[in-house]
């Protein structure tokens, strides 16, 4: 093992760093707009069921592979693969997270731009103006690209410092800050007149809205939000200690992730309902609907709208950063360990690949012809191929690998920390990972491809 490999120092560090990977734009951007589109409380209940049934067993499985090997994803799968090409699964994970890094950094760059716009008071309450602002900004060939590259470079400066001094320290500072910012905005939003309609929308289920679409949307969202199926959790688990309780940590991380997603809803919907905006505007919710919602809702008190806008985009940028760190680390760990180079060089290789992809993704939002294929932009393709094909494939085979292929003794040992924990839920976990998860993932997969 290279001397510079490192590990997490404290239990809290493990939870915050891994939850940092899980908590991101998926929670604060994607979860609220899906909840808005898919009918509110009923979607949330289904989502929670998915996290419990599929998310937690999936997270534990990746933890088992990662901690067993204490190595990057490719080596981890190869170690347990017994000569069969299971390392390809590790490769797939690394590839998936690197592509995700490419388009995720574009949206993260938009967050930085909006943070800047909020600070310089460029976002007004006029909806027409914000629509125009977003369109002009996101299709501009220069600025969004620079912000996206800047985001990857910021990520680089943290990852390059290593697991304890970089990732763990940054997460220990950023995650509590994020949580406090979120709570401040939630409290402000829930005290607005008319905000209770939004709270009701989130917590009073209307089961007539449940279609099988909602069920499968929730499943896909649970994957993405927990960073499942992309070797991310496996890489982080390779820095866990032998005392880390894998099942308990998985539950804590899933709980934090879900809590933050619901809090994000509790921040957005009350504010939207209080100014009479329907929360079903889709992906544009955060960049088009919200700036004017905040201005209108909080505008009555001087400066409050301004401050809330800044806090919101600062929080969004922080959430995105703890996630891009994890996507970056997966590739970095692979490069420096497998090619016997320094961590610094490994990180630069990942940064170079990430920047190339992100530049292509960002430019594809403009009118550049070469970056559109079959009517979709390069960015949309990256999103589609990773989210709908690579991620479910990775998660599916990880379940098969841990549930059916590797010796059961290894699974039991890792689950119970070599017999020192009771392992009360071992039976349930094994059943989930062998039967429930693979079947559900197949269902999502075929649904997303339009077969069911
Ligand atoms: N889970 C993150 C979110 O909700 C996204 C994320 C972070 C991710 N790391 C990942 C997704 C690795 C896939 C792979 O925003």
C-alpha distances in angstroms, 411 versus 244, 406, 416, 423? 15, 8, 9, 11
Record the tokens describing residue 377, joined without a space.
Answer: 């932009």
Output the CA 172–ligand 1 centroid distance in Å. 18
pLDDT higher at 278 or 310: 310
The reported pLDDT for the residue numbered 1 is 47
257 CA closest ligand 1 atom index: 4
The reported pLDDT for the residue numbered 369 is 66
Output the CA 280–ligand 1 centroid distance in Å. 23
Out of 232, 234, 318, mutate this one to test ligand 1's pocket (max ligand atoms within 8 Å of CB): namely 232
Q: 242: which residues sit within 8 A by CB, 6+ positions away?
A: 67, 417, 418
- Residue whose CA is at the smallest distance from ligand 1 atom 6: 227
Q: What is the mean pLDDT of the segment spanning 237-263?
A: 96
Record the tokens describing residue 112, joined without a space.
Answer: 């930085």
pLDDT higher at 227 or 452: 227
Percent of the chain with pLDDT over 70: 97
Asked if the model's pLDDT at residue 125 lies above 90, the reply is no
Output the CA 414–ligand 1 centroid distance in Å. 24
Q: What is the mean pLDDT of the segment spanning 378-393?
A: 87
pLDDT higher at 254 or 1: 254
DSSP state of 23: S
Output the CA 22–ligand 1 centroid distance in Å. 6
Find how far residue 359's CA is from the centre of its chain.
Answer: 21
The reported pLDDT for the residue numbered 151 is 97
326 CA closest ligand 1 atom index: 9
Out of 17, 18, 23, 26, mutate this one to test ligand 1's pocket (max ligand atoms within 8 Å of CB): namely 26
pLDDT higher at 293 or 103: 103
Q: 258: which residues sit within 8 A by CB, 6+ positions away?
A: 47, 48, 51
Neighbours of 307 (CB within 10 A): 16
- Residue whose CA is at the smallest distance from ligand 1 atom 12: 227
- Residue whose CA is at the smallest distance from ligand 1 atom 13: 227
Collapsed DSSP state (helix, strand, coil) of residue 195: coil
* Pocket-forming residues, ligand 1, beta carbon under 6 Å: 21-22, 24-27, 97, 100, 224-225, 227, 230, 232, 323, 326-327
The Cα 57–Cα 68 span in angstroms is: 16
Q: 140: which residues sit within 8 A by CB, 6+ positions away?
A: 366
Out of 22, 25, 233, 261, mutate this one to test ligand 1's pocket (max ligand atoms within 8 Å of CB): namely 22
232 CA closest ligand 1 atom index: 12
Record the tokens describing residue 156, joined without a space.
Answer: 């680089």
The reported pLDDT for the residue numbered 362 is 92
Percent of the chain with pLDDT over 90: 66
Q: Which residues are paired to 373 by β-bridges? A: 376
Condensed to tens digits (0 to 9), the pLDDT of residues 18-77 reads: 999 999 999 998 899 889 888 889 999 999 999 999 999 999 999 999 999 999 999 999
């Amino acid at each position: 093992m290279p001397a510079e490999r490192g590990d997490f120092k404290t239990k809290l560090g493990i939870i915050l760093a891994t939850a940092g990977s899980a908590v991101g734009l998926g929670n604060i951007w994607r979860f609220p707009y899906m909840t808005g589109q898919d009918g509110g409380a009923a979607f949330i209940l289904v989502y929670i069921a998915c996290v419990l049934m599929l998310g937690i067993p999936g997270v534990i499985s990746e933890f088992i592979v990662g901690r067993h090997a204490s190595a990057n994803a490719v080596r981890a799968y190869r170690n347990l693969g017994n000569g069969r090409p299971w390392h390809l699964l590790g490769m797939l994970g690394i590839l998936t997270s690197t592509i995700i890094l490419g388009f995720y950094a574009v949206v993260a760059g938009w967050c930085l731009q909006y943070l800047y716009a909020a600070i310089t008071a460029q976002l007004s309450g006029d909806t027409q103006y914000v629509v125009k602002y977003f369109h002009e900004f996101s299709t501009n060939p220069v600025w969004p690209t620079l912000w996206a590259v800047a985001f990857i470079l910021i990520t680089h400066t943290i990852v390059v410092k290593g697991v304890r001094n970089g990732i763990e320290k940054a997460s220990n500072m950023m995650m509590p800050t994020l949580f406090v910012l979120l709570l401040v905005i939630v409290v402000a939003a829930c005290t607005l007149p008319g905000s209770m309609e939004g709270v009701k929308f989130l917590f009073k289920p209307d089961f007539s809205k449940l279609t099988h679409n909602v069920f499968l949307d929730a499943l896909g969202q649970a994957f993405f939000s927990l960073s499942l199926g992309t070797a991310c959790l496996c890489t982080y688990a390779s820095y866990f200690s032998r005392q880390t309780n894998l099942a308990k940590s998985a539950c804590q991380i899933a709980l934090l992730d879900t809590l933050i997603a619901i809090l994000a809803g509790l921040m957005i919907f009350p504010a939207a309902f209080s100014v009479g905006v329907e929360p079903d505007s889709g992906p544009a919710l955060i960049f088009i609907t919200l700036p004017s919602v905040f201005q209108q809702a909080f505008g009555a008190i001087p400066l409050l709208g301004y401050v809330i806008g800044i806090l919101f985009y600062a929080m969004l940028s922080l959430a995105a950063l703890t996630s891009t760190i994890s996507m970056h680390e997966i590739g970095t760990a692979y490069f420096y360990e497998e090619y016997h180079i320094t961590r610094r060089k490994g990180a630069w290789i990942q940064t170079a690949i990430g920047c190339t992809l992100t530049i292509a993704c960002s430019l594809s939002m403009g009118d550049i012809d070469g970056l559109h294929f079959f009517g979709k932009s390069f960015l949309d393709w990256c999103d589609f191929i990773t989210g709908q094909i690579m991620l479910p494939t990775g998660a599916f085979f990880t379940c098969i690998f841990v549930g059916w292929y590797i010796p059961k003794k290894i699974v039991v040992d890792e689950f119970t920390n070599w017999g020192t924990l009771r392992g009360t839920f071992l039976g349930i976990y094994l059943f989930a990972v062998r039967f429930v998860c693979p079947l559900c993932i197949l269902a999502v997969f075929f649904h997303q491809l339009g077969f069911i």
